[in-house]
Structure 1
């Protein structure tokens, strides 16, 4: 499994100028190669392959300004972007409903402000220098990169990614999954329902397991503050006939990093809990296009879309695999509307269905769901149990002895956002 170690190089870092010059050169090569492809495609309806583009640009200054391996990696990246465009175009023609808009050609990067990623594979890193100093030295760059990776064979590549306040150096390395296998039982299954006010509601078929809820309010509050600042900045920028500013970019970057940190902490807390409970299977509810088609009211929609649940699910997935927990992504339609306590059947949503599904209970407040007999259950816990129930083929033991804990789930601990 590939993991990523990140190092932020800010503008006051001595390494910044070197990285900025290289990223600018990377942009020049990317734009020139993209120009060659676009012109041929729009005028001759022909796509230039990676090899054809290489032969066209290999004698140009933009190619010679970078080490050959780095320059080739930029051409490969551009080639992948075009392949993705063609695949998206084909899929759009087959079913436009899967997209929010028509796929567009890969764009040019800004001539002055534009910067492009730099990719250094293992062959473009100094193996001898690493063995002597335990630091990585990218080819053609007079800089050293500290890393926690112990062995050079683990290194896959180093990426230098432009961001609003500097450059993010990403060390991609190999981590063997069997190294950290925990003592877990695959027959014990947990389920997660992700949301806004409750980022994750966790339930399990393990007897005596007390459901946990992990708050999403810190992220929601962070987004609200950011949205207010962004609205004020955009109002000022519109009067100045500008689209963005460095200040707005810095605020966006800061917001993104704080959200990323919170999600990492939350996902780590959940995986540690599963290991502690010896739970070996994790089911996560997810629907296709749930962010595009969600209808929760304007205010809730904005909060839901701005919380990167897909990123949260990715973090849960790779951390679970590292300790030997199997992850299943399950379809979750109607799990929040069906009554777990009444064992309502849970159908799968279809756009062409004529008869609306009818359920025994209903949600009576933001956090509570009332069953047919009047029992109260936490609404997110109800949804999580239904995800567990919908994904399971053996429901005979599911839910025994959970009545009290469903109405009063435990918080999964306080996290600092």
Structure 2
């Protein structure tokens, strides 16, 4: 199962400016990839898959401002947004009552104020530092201690007045123990309840309800 460790970066934090810069570049790339996707859709009525849109945007200026592995994640998000729109459109055609209106194609992030999530997959983190319990994002000055192991990705997520760095990691699933024993409760009038169980050696319990009257 996956868990998330969160680190809040407010405006006074030493990593604020860098987080803001990265989220801004992520927005530029998202909009560039979305523009490419929209133009193709308007012209052909189709949309690119994640591989095609990567090849359409890999030489774009915005692509080079971030580590390649990070840029790929952002472009993939655009492809996922269009897949989600197509699925919503199909569902809307069958069950229009579930929606306030026809689903619209994915929009651009705001030109000036828009920011976008930045995703660092595990191979975009410093492996030597990870062994020391330190997360360092590739081609950046952002590094911090973490208790997480088996990290899948690290995300810089824009919030209203801060950024949240999310460390997504995997832990083993906890096996739910199946018990052969059961308990039964019978609510009464004089007695508040009677509790019985099929567990050997456990005596039935009567809870007196008179003191509560």
Q: TM-score range by the shorter chain?
A: 0.7 to 0.9
Partner in structure 2 of residue 39 of structure 1: 39
Select the structure that is richer in helix.
1
Partner in structure 1 of residue 103 of structure 2: 103
CA, structure 1 residues 42+182, in 2 after alignment: closer, same or farther (shift >3 Å)? Answer: closer
Partner in structure 2 of residue 137 of structure 1: 136
Separation in 2, partners of 1:182, 1:90: 38
CA, structure 1 residues 43+97, in 2 after alignment: closer, same or farther (shift >3 Å)? Answer: same
Tell me the number of residue pairs that the alignment of Structure 1 and Structure 2 aligns.
192
Structural mapping, 1:54-203, within 5 Å: 54-131=54-131, 133-149=132-148, 151=149, 154-178=150-174, 181=175, 185=179
**Post-superposition offset of 1:130:** 1.5
Separation in 1, partners of 2:67, 2:136: 13
Superposed CA RMSD in Å reads 2.5
TM-score (norm 1): 0.43
Partner in structure 1 of residue 184 of structure 2: 207
Unaligned runs of 5+ in 1: 189-205, 211-374, 376-400, 409-417
CA, structure 1 residues 186+170, in 2 after alignment: closer, same or farther (shift >3 Å)? Answer: farther
Give a deviation string over 1:289-335, Cα, whole Å, max 9, x none: xxxxxxxxxxxxxxxxxxxxxxxxxxxxxxxxxxxxxxxxxxxxxxx
Matched-pair contact (CA < 8 Å) for 2:125–2:137: yes
Give a deviation string over 1:259-303, Cα, whole Å, max 9, x none: xxxxxxxxxxxxxxxxxxxxxxxxxxxxxxxxxxxxxxxxxxxxx
Matched-pair contact (CA < 8 Å) for 2:53–2:79: no
Give a deviation string over 1:116-147, Cα, whole Å, max 9, x none: 0011111111111111x311001111111221
**Post-superposition offset of 1:67:** 0.4
TM-score (norm 2): 0.82
Unaligned runs of 5+ in 2: 190-205
Larger radius of gyration: 2
CA, structure 1 residues 207+41, in 2 after alignment: closer, same or farther (shift >3 Å)? Answer: same
CA, structure 1 residues 183+209, in 2 after alignment: closer, same or farther (shift >3 Å)? Answer: farther
**Post-superposition offset of 1:209:** 9.0
CA, structure 1 residues 141+168, in 2 after alignment: closer, same or farther (shift >3 Å)? Answer: same
**Post-superposition offset of 1:102:** 1.9
CA, structure 1 residues 129+86, in 2 after alignment: closer, same or farther (shift >3 Å)? Answer: same
Structural mapping, 1:16-415, within 5 Å: 16-131=16-131, 133-149=132-148, 151=149, 154-178=150-174, 181=175, 185=179, 206-208=183-185
Separation in 1, partners of 2:47, 2:19: 32
Separation in 1, partners of 2:32, 2:87: 23
Pairing 1:10–2:10 present: yes
- Report the 3-state secondary structure (helix = DSSP H, G, I; strand = E; otherwise coil) of the residue aligned with 1:140: coil
Give a deviation string over 1:70-120, Cα, whole Å, max 9, x none: 000001111111101101111111121233432111110001100000111
CA, structure 1 residues 104+208, in 2 after alignment: closer, same or farther (shift >3 Å)? Answer: same
Matched-pair contact (CA < 8 Å) for 2:6–2:165: yes
**Post-superposition offset of 1:51:** 2.3
Name which structure has the greater RCO, CA cutoff 8 Å, separation 6+.
2
